[in-house]
Structure 1
Amino acid sequence: MTVEELVAAVVALAIVAAKRLGAGLADRAVEGVEQSVADRLGRLYRWIVGRLPGEEGAALVEEAGRSSAAQAQLRRRLVLALGEDPVGVEELRMLLSPHALALLSEPSGIPRQLPSALADFTGRGQEVARLVEAAERPGGCRVCLVHGPGGIGKTSVVVQASHQLMQFFPDGQLFVDLNGAEERPVAVGEVLGDFLAALGTPPGRIPDDVAGRTRQFRTELADRRVLIVLDNAATEQQVGALTPGGSSCVVLITSRQALATLAADERVALPGLDEDAAWDLLRRISGPDRVDEDPEAGRAVVGLCSGLPLALRIAGARLATFPARTLGSLARDLANDHRRLDVLSLGERSVRAVFRAGYEALPSLQRRAFRLLSALDAPDLPTWALSPLLDVAADAADACLEGLLLAHLVQTRRGETDGQRIVLHDLARGFSKEMAAEQSVGEADSAVWRLLGALLSAADAADAQLRPAGARHSGRDGVFRRSPPEDAVAGDVWEAVHWFEAERAVLVAAVAHAHARGWWELCWEITDAMSIALEHQWRWDISRQVHGLALDAADQLGDGQARAALLRNLGEALRDGGDDLDGAAECFSEAIALFRGSGDGHGESDALGNLGILQRQQGALREAERTLTAAELRFRALPLERGLAWTLRERAVISRHHARYTQAHAQLDEAQALFAANEEIRGIGWILRTRADTEKESTTGGCPLPHRWYGGPWPGCPATSRPAQDPRWAAARTHYEDAAQVLHAVRDHRGHTWVTLGLADMALYEGDHTAAELIRRALQETDACGDHRGHSRALTLQALLLAEANRLSDAITLAEQALATLRDHAGAAQAGFRLARLYGAASRHQDVLRTLQQSRTHYHAADIPFPALADPELAKSLTHPVSRARRFRRHQ
C-alpha cells in the first residue's frame, strides 16, 4: 500500500473507532473475540493524535466523522507528517492488521453495495467531475440527478463517480435498481426494508408500513455518512421516500425522466458520446486492431450508433464475439434502416427494448407524436410542426413535446432563428418508423398532408418577401393550405431569408414526399415557393433536383401554368449554375410561350427578364437589350414595380458595358427609387453594387489593366487614369462597402461575392496588398457555390497578382485556364486582353497577337469599346516587363 492508501485506511478506521468502539466492539470483546482489534483501534487513534500537534489531532478526528472536508484535511496533514518519517510509515503498516482492515467492509451496519466500475469507461470525465464536485460541497444532504435516454450510460457515470467518492462515506454505500423503465417499478417499502437491513437494523425493529420504514431509515442515517445510489428511478415520489433527511449523506439518482419537480442540487443531462469518445469505446470493446485496420468502416459504425453507448457496446461485442465478421460488413448492416435495430441486439441486450420501454410508458398522444415525427424524412422539424401533425392546438402540441423531452425520446436544438427544432437521432428515428408501421398508413398520410399544407402557407409568406418581380405568375393557390402559427411566418425580408435557410431541408423532404405520394399540387407549389430562396442560397443542385420532381407533377396534372412557372425557375438554376446555358435558354423560351398563351402577363414579363439576363451574361448585349426592353415595357404596363426595378438594373449593366455611364446612372436611380418604395432590401444591395461597378469603370474607361500595366490609349479615356485621384473611385469603394453590408444581411451569397470581386479589382488597380486576401476570398466563395463566371473572373485577377510577385509562368497558366472556362463575350474580352498582356511580359509575340485578335472579336461581339489600333501597334504597347506596384513591394 502507498502512503496515501495507508493514510486513507487509518482515517477510515479512526472514524469507526470514534463511532463504534464503545458499542459493537465492546459487546464482542466480552466474548474475547475482538479484544485485540479494539486494542489496535485504540492504538491507531493514539498514533494519529500523536502525529499532530497539541489537541488538534483529537479535534480533527472527531470532526472527520461528520465532514468530508475534515476527512480530506486530516488525510493531507498525515501524508505531510509522514513525508519525512519512514519510521512512522513502518509503524503504521504494523498497526493496520488484517482484522482492523476488515472493519472497513464488515457486513454488520456498513454496507458496500456499489457495482464494479467499468474497466472500459470513457468519455464522461466532465460529467463525473460535476457529480464528484457537487457531492463534496459542504452543506446538507446533496441530491444529484443524472438523466437521459435509455442506453446512454447513466448508471456507468454514477457508478464511476461513486467509486471516486467512496472514501468520503465510511459508513457505507447503498445501491438499488428501482426498475423505473419497467411496467412495475420496485416498491418503495421493499427498498427501505432492504436498506435498513443492510444498515444493521435487526429484522424485528424494521416497521411494516412505508411511512414507518421511511422514519426509521432517516433515523439510522441521521449521524452517518452514507452514499446512496438510486438507479433507474421512475418518479419524484419514488425517490422522495428514499432520500435521508440528515446533512451527511449524498444521493445519486439516475432516471430516463427529467424528474422536473425533484429538488436536486445538481442536474446532469447526459448527451450521446462525441465522436472521439465513441471511437475509443468501440476500440476498447472490440479490440483496437479490429477497428484500426478499417478506420473508415469504424467511423461509419460510430456514426450509425448515434453516440449511444449501449449501441456501441453491442456493436463492439458483436465484433469481439464473432472474429470472422469484418467491420465493413457490420457497417453495411447498420446502414440498412430496416436491419439496424436487429443488428443492435445481442443476447439480453437490445437497443430496441430500451426504446420500447420508454415508448410504452408514454400517454397515447405522446406515442402518436413520436410515431409521426419520422413520417417526413427530414433531419429535424420546427417545434410548431407538431400541431399540424397531431391536428391539435398549439398549446396541446407544446405540452406533448414537453412529455417527449422529459422521457428523452426526442431532443431539441436551437435553430438559425430564436426558435427550437425537434431532432430524432438515427436510432430513435428507426424505432419511430417501426412503431408507425404498426399503425394504419392513413394516420401518417393525414398527418403529413396537414404539415405540408402548413409549410406551404409559411413558404408563401416568406416567398412574397423575396420574390423580385412581385407576383410572378398566377395559378399557385389551388391546393390545401393550413395556417401555421403566427411566429412561424416571416414578416419581412430578413425573417424570410432566415426562415428559408432554417427550413430548406424540410421543404426538400416535403417535395420528395409529395411526389412519392402523388400529391402533385403540393409537390409543384412548394417547389415554386422555395425557388427564389434556393437562388439566393446558391443551391442550384437542389433547385434542379426538386424542379425535376415538380415538372413531372405538373405534367401529371396537365397544368400548363404550373409547367411555365417551373420552367422559369429551372432556367434560372441552369443559368446561374453555369453548366447548361443552352438548357436555360430553352426553359425560358418555353416558359414565355406558355405564359403568353395563358394570358399571364406577370409570368411572361418575368420570364422575358430572365432570358435577357441570360443573354447579357453570355455577352450577347444587343440581343439582351432588345429582350430586356420588351420586358420593361410589359412591367410598366402591368404595372409591376419590383420587376421593373430589376429589369432597369440589368439594362444599366449593359449601358455600363457600352460606356454609356450617364444613362446607366439614370437607370440605376429609377431602379433604386422603386426598390426603396417597395422595401426591396436585396434589390437596393444589387443597385449599390452595380453603381460601384459603373463608377469604377467610368474612372478607368473600362480598361481591364492598371496604369502600371498598360499606359496606352483606351476608348473614352485618352490614357488610363490614375484612379486614386478621381472622386468617382472613392464613391465606388463606398458603394461596394454599403452593398456588402446589405447583401450579407439578406444572405445573398452570390451578390456579396461579386462585391468582393469588385473590391479585389480596385485593390489590384491601386497596388494595395489587400488584393491578395480579397482575391483568395472571392475564389473560395465562387468555387464553393459553383459560380463559374465569378470564379473565372477571380482567376484573371489572381493571374495579375502572381505576375506582380515575379511568378509570370504561373500567372500565364492561370489566365489561360480562366479564359478557357469563360463562355460570355464580355468576360472573355477582358480575360483575353489580360492574357495578351501577360504574354507580352514574357515576350511571346505570336501569342500576344493571337490572343489580341480573340479579345478584339469578343469586344466587338459584345459591342464594347476597344482601342482603334492595328494589332501590331497594340501588341507593341503590351510587350514589356511588368512593373510591380510600390505598395505590393512593401507588403509582399
Structure 2
Amino acid sequence: MPRPGASSTLPRDTKDFTGRTGELRTLLATPTREGHATALPLSVVHGMPGVGKTALIVHAAHRLRTSYPDGLFYVDLRAYSDQPAYEPAEALAFLLHSAGLPDPLPDTLDERVARWREWTAHRRVLVVLDNARDADQIVPLLPGAASCRAIVASRNRLAELDGATPLLLHELSLSEASALFTRVAGRSSSSDAAALRRIMRIFGGHPLTLQLLAARLRHRDTWDLEYVAGRLTRADDPLDEVGERVTAAFQLSFAELRPAARRLFRYAALHPGPDLTVDAAAALCAAPPDEIRRAADELLDRHLIEEPVRDRYQLHDLSRAFGRRLCRVEVPRYARRQAMGGLLSYYLTAADRAERAAHPGRRALALDRESPYAPDFAATDDGAADRATVWLTVERANLLAAARTAAAEFPEFAVLFPLALVHSLKLWGIREVAAELLDVAVTVLRGTDDPAALARSLVARADVLAQTDHAQALSCAAEAYVLFETVRDDHGRADASLQTGRAHLAAGRDGDCLRALEQARELYRGTGDRYGVAESLNVQGASLIFGADYPRAMRCFVAMLDIHRGLRDLHGQAKALNNMGEIYSHEGRTEQALHHYEQSLKLVQSFGGRQEAAILDNNLGDVYRDMDQIDQASAFFRRALSSNRARGDAVGEMNSLIGLGRVHAAAGRTQEAMRHLRAAEALSLRLGNVYERQRALVGRADAHRMAGEYAAALETYDDARRLAEDFTFPLGTARALAGTARTHLRLRDSETARSYAERALMLFHRLGARGEVESLRHLLGRQRPSAPGPTSHGREPMTDGA
C-alpha cells in the first residue's frame, strides 16, 4: 500500500477501459533484473495518435500503485498538444514540488536532475511520462534507482532512448473494439451485430474515434447502429462524423514533419491499394527512391504509416482519411491527377513487363511511355519468369485497385490495364472483374480511332465470356476478326478464330468449333507463334473429348505438352497434363489419371493458378469417388465449390455441384444429392451449357434409381439421352442408355435391360471407354467388373486461353 503522505498525481482511471490483456500483462510484470540489478526498469509504449496509449499507461499505473508506495507521478509532457511542450527543467520543478520538496528549487537543469535523483535514490516510485517527444525530453526526468519504475508513452518510437523496453500499441481487435463501443454507447449490439462490424471495419479498431462516435450515439435517442453505419458508409470523409479531435490529433503529428515526409504522407493517402513499395511511392511522388526511404522512416518513427512487411508501407484507415483530407485542401486537383497518373503508369509498365516475362507468348503492349520507376524482368535471365510471377502475386491487390481506379477515372489507362493483366486475371480466377474492366475498355475504345486496340480488347472479352455467354463471346470474336482483317493483322485473326472456337465449344457446336480451331492453328503457324498453336491444340483436344474421340484428343494434348515443355511454360504443361488425365479417367485407367492429375497439381501449386487448382480438385474428386473413397472425394468437391463460387466460375461451380450430388447419392443421401444436382441443372440452363445440363440430368436419374424411384429415373434418363443426341454428345448418350438398362434390371425386366445395355455397349466400345465396357459386360453376365458402373464423369478440361 502507498505510505501515508505519499504523492500521487495520476489522473483518474477510466471506467471504459477495455481489452489490452497482453499489453497489460507486459506492463504489470515484475521487472527482471538478471544482469541489470542497478538499471532502472523503463518501458516505452508507442503507437499512432489516438490508439489508446494514455489510457493504457494510466490504467497500468493504477494497477501498480501497491508496488510503489513512495509515490506515483504522472506528467503530460505535451509534445503533441495545443499548449507549449514541457521543457525538462519545468517538468522537474513539477516533480520536485509534487514530491514535497520546498522552494527554492535549484536554478539549473543539471542541479534539478541531481536533486530529483537524490530524492528517488532510496525510494520506490513510479514515474509515468505521457505524450513525450524524444529522449532529450525524457532522460532528465527518469529516477536514478533500480527500485523505481518509469513508463513512457509517445507517438514516436524513441529508438534513441537507451535501456528502454518498447511496447508497440496496435489498434484494438474486433472483439475489443466492439466491446468498447457498446460500453460507451450504452447500447446492446446483439440485434445489430452486422452494423457494428461495419463500423469497426471503417475505423479499424481505433479507440479514440470509436469512443467519440459511441458518445455521440449515446446522446442521439433516434439513432441506432444501422443508421450510424449507413452515415459512415455514405460519408465522403468519415472524419466528419467524429468531430475535430481526431483530426487535431493527427495534425499535431503532421505539423512537425519535414517537407518530403509531408508530401509522401499526403500522396500515399491517394494510393488505392492496401500497401505500397518504395518504387510505387517514388512514382506517386515523382521523387528519387532514396528520398522516399528517408521520408518513410520519418513517418514510421511517428506512426503515421506502418511497415508490416519489410519495405512495404501501409496507412491505417484513419491516417488515410486524414491524408486525403489534407490532399483535398492543400494539393490542387491537377497535381493529384498528375501523381495518380505517375502511379498508374508505374503499375501498368511493371505489369506489362512481368506478364511478358512470366508468359512469353503474350503480345507486348504499345505503351506511349514507360515508368522509370517500374522493375525490369530481363528476358535473358533464367530467373526472370519466377521473379515476375512472384511480383504479380504479391502486387495482386494493388494491381486490381489500380485497374479499377483507371476504369473509373483515367480512360487512357483503362484501355490498357485489362490487356496488360490478361493472363493474371485468369490465373487469379476473377472473371467478373475481368469482364468489368474489359467492358470499360471496349466502351472507351469505341470512341477512338484505334481498331487494333479495340480488336484486342474484344478478343480478351470473348475469352472471358466464352463459358458464360457464348453468344456474346461469338459476337465479340467475329467483330474482332473483321477489325484485324482491316488492319491486316494475321496474329490477331488467329486470336479471334481461337476465341470463336472456344465459344462454339461452350455452346456444344463441335463441328463449328473444330473448323475455327483449324483456321486459328494455321494462322498461328504462319506467324510463328508456338504458344498459339499449343492453345489451338488444347481447345481442339477438349472438343474431341466431348465427342469421345479419345485417341485424337490424346494426340492433341501430347503435342501441346511437347510444345510447352520446349517453351518451359509451366501453365501450359499443367493444362496438358490435366487434360491427358481426363482421357485416362474416361478410359477407366484410374492410376494413370491420378498420376497425371497429381503432376498437373504440382505445377499449378508452383504458379498459383486458382482456377486450375479448382479444376483439379473437381477431377481428383471424380477419381476418388470412382475408387469408392467417398469422404476424400467430398473434400475435394467442397473445396472446389468454395473456390469456384468465390471466383464467380459458373462452369466450375456446376462441375462441383454435380460431383457433390453424385457423392451424396452414392452415400444414400438422396435429398442432398437432388439439391446439388438441381442447382447444377438450373445453372446450366441459365448459361446455356448443354454438356453440364446433360451430366446433371444423368446424375439426377442415377440418384432416383439408387433411391428406388424407378419411374422418375427412367423419365430423367430419357430426357438426358434425347439432349445428348440433339447435341451429338455420344458419351452422354451411352451413359443415359446404361442407366436406363440398370433401372430396368432393378424392375426385373431383363430383356429390356439387355436391349439398352447392348446399345450403350456399342457406343462405349466405339468411344474406348474401357471401364464402362467392363461394367456393362458384367451387367449382361459376361464377366466380372474391374471398374465402377456407369457414371456421369465430370472431368474438366482446362480450355481457357493462355
Instruction: Give the structure-1-normalised TM-score.
Output: 0.77
* Residue matched to 2:753: none
Hey, what does 2:89 align to over in structure 1?
Answer: 189
Q: How does 1:520-669 map to 2 (within 5 A)?
A: 520-576=411-467, 578=468, 580-669=469-558
Displacement of 1:847 after TM fit? 5.7
The whole-number CA distance in structure 2 between the counterparts of 1:693 and 1:421 is 43
Quote the Cα distance in structure 2 between the aligned partners of 1:284 and 1:127.
Answer: 21
CA shift, 1:218, in A, is 1.8
Aligned position for 2:795? none
- CA deviation map 1:761-791 (0-9, x unaligned): 2222232233232333333333333332233
Match status 1:462 vs 2:327:
no
The residue identity in structure 2 corresponding to 1:534 is L
Residue 109 of structure 2: aligned partner: 210
In the alignment, does 2:213 pair up with 1:310? no
Query: 1:481 — aligned with what?
Result: 371
**For 1:158 and 1:123, how far apart are their aligned partners in 2?**
13
Measure the CA separation in 2 of the matches of 1:213 and 1:867: 98
Runs of at least 5 residues in structure 1 that lack an aligned partner in the other structure: 1-8, 13-103, 700-727
Partner of 1:111: 7
Query: How far is 1:800 from its partner?
Result: 3.0
Q: 285, 295, 317: which is aligned to 1:390?
A: 285
Given that 2:92 and 2:112 are in contact with CA atoms closer than 8 Å, whether structure 1 keeps it comes out as yes
The residue aligned with 2:799 is none
The one-letter amino acid of 1:192's match is L
CA distance in 2 between counterparts of 1:866 and 1:200 reads 96
Letter in 2 for 1:437: R
Deviation of 1:428 (Å):
1.8
Q: Aligned pair in 2 of structure 1 residues 487, 323: CA closer, same or farther (>3 Å)?
A: farther
**2:28 alignment partner AA:** V
AA matched with 1:393:
P
Q: Structure 2 matches for 1:715-734, cutoff 5 A?
A: 728-734=589-595
Contact 1:282–1:312 at 8 Å: present in 2 too?
A: yes
2:140 to 241, 262, 272: 241
Which of 178, 182, 185 pairs up with 1:286? 185
| 1:377 counterpart (240, 263, 272) | 272
- Of 245, 253, 259, which aligns to 1:358? 253
Deviates more, 1:223-232 or 1:753-762: 753-762
Query: Could you give the per-residue CA deviations for residues 464-483 of structure 1, whole angstroms, max 9, x where no partner exists?
Result: 14448x133x6632345333
Partner of 1:445: 337
Provide the secondary structure at the position in 2 that maps to 1:862.
coil
1:127 counterpart (1, 19, 23): 23
Q: Distance in 1 between matches of 2:297 and 2:10?
A: 33
In the alignment, is residue 151 of structure 1 matched against residue 13 of structure 2? no
1:855 Cα shift?
Answer: 2.2
Equivalent-residue separation in structure 2 for 1:696 and 1:630 (angstroms): 30
CA distance in 2, matches of 1:231, 1:136: 23
1:875 is matched with which residue?
740
- Distance in 1, Cα, partners of 2:167 & 2:68: 22
Query: Aligned partners of 1:828 and 1:329: how far apart in 2?
Result: 45
> How much does 1:880 deviate?
3.7
Counterpart secondary structure, 1:471: coil
Structure 2, unaligned stretches of length 5 or more? 748-774, 780-784, 789-802
Deviation at 1:462, TM superposition (A): 1.9
Are 1:148 and 1:256, in contact at CA under 8 Å, matched by a contact in 2? yes
8 Å CA contact retained: 1:169, 1:226: yes
1:830 is displaced (CA, Å) by: 4.1
Match of 1:747 among 577, 590, 608: 608
Deviates further, 267-276 or 597-606: 597-606
Partner of 1:864: 730
Matched to 1:462, the amino acid is A
Q: Is the 1:227–1:250 Cα contact (8 Å) retained in structure 2? A: yes
Aligned partner of residue 145 in structure 1, secondary structure: strand
2:624 is aligned, of 763, 767, 774, to 763
Q: Name the counterpart of 2:101.
A: 201
- The one-letter amino acid of 2:508's match is G
Aligned mates of 2:204, 2:325 — CA distance in 1: 18
Instruction: Look up the match of 1:253.
Output: 152
The one-letter code sitting in structure 2 at the alignment partner of 1:444 is: R
Q: How big is each residue's C-alpha offset from its partner over 1:817-840, in whole Å with a ceiling of 9 and x where there is no partner? A: 434543344444444444444455
- Contact between 1:655 and 1:664, CA under 8 Å: does it hold in 2? yes
Pick one of 433, 444, 447 that aligns with 2:324: 433
Q: Secondary structure at the match of 1:557?
A: coil
State the one-letter code of the partner of 1:156: A
What does residue range 46-85 of structure 1 map to in structure 2 within 5 Å?
none
- What is the CA-CA distance between 1:509 and the residue it aligns to? 3.3
Q: 35, 54, 67: which one pairs with 1:168?
A: 67
Taking a change above 3 Å as real, the CA distance of residues 136 and 625 of structure 1, as seen in their structure-2 partners, is same
Match of 2:653 in 1: 791
Q: What is the distance in 2 between the residues matched to 1:729 and 1:454?
A: 49
Please give the alpha-carbon distance, in whole angstroms, between the structure 2 residues aligned to 1:404 and 1:218: 34
Q: 1:486 to 1:238 in 2, by over 3 A?
A: farther
Q: Contact (CA 8 Å) 2:208, 2:246: kept in 1 or not?
A: yes
Whichever residue aligns with residue 202 of structure 1, its letter is: P
Q: Which residue of 1 aligns with 2:750?
A: none
Which whole-Å deviations, capped at 9, do the CAs of 1:214-258 have from their partners, x for residues lacking one?
222222222221111111001111112222333222111000111
Deviation at 1:147, TM superposition (A): 0.6
1:435-487 CA distance string (max 9 Å, x none): 1112222322222121111111110122214448x133x66323453332459
1:855 counterpart residue number? 721
* Counterpart code for 1:757: N
Residues 63-109 of structure 1, C-alpha deviation per residue, up to 9 Å, x if partnerless? xxxxxxxxxxxxxxxxxxxxxxxxxxxxxxxxxxxxxxxxx242xxx
- CA drift at 1:689: 0.4
Aligned residues between the structures: 741
Q: What is the CA–CA distance in structure 2 between the aligned matches of 1:631 and 1:488, rounded to whole Å?
A: 30
In 2 relative to 1, CA 866–159 (structure 1 residues): closer, same or farther, beyond 3 Å? closer
In the other structure, the counterpart of 2:295 is: 400
Deviations 1:152-183 (A, max 9, x none): 11011111111122212122122111111147
For residue 679 of structure 1, the aligned residue among 562, 568, 578 is 568
Cα contact 2:717–2:739 (8 A) shared by 1: no
**Cα pair distance change 1:352/1:761, threshold 3 Å:** same
The CA distance in 1 between the partners of 2:254 and 2:508, in whole Å, is: 62
What is the Cα deviation at residue 382 of structure 1? 3.3
Match of 1:800 in 2: 662
Amino acid at match of 1:338: D
Pair member with larger Rg: 1
| One-letter identity of the residue aligned with 1:875 | T
Distance 1:535 1:874 in 2: 37
Q: Per-residue deviation at 1:607?
A: 2.5
Relative to structure 1, the CA distance from residue 587 to residue 247 in structure 2 (aligned partners, 3 Å threshold; closer, same or farther) is same
The 1-side partners of 2:327 and 2:637 are apart by 53
Gap change, CA 1:466 and 1:620, over 3 Å in 2: farther
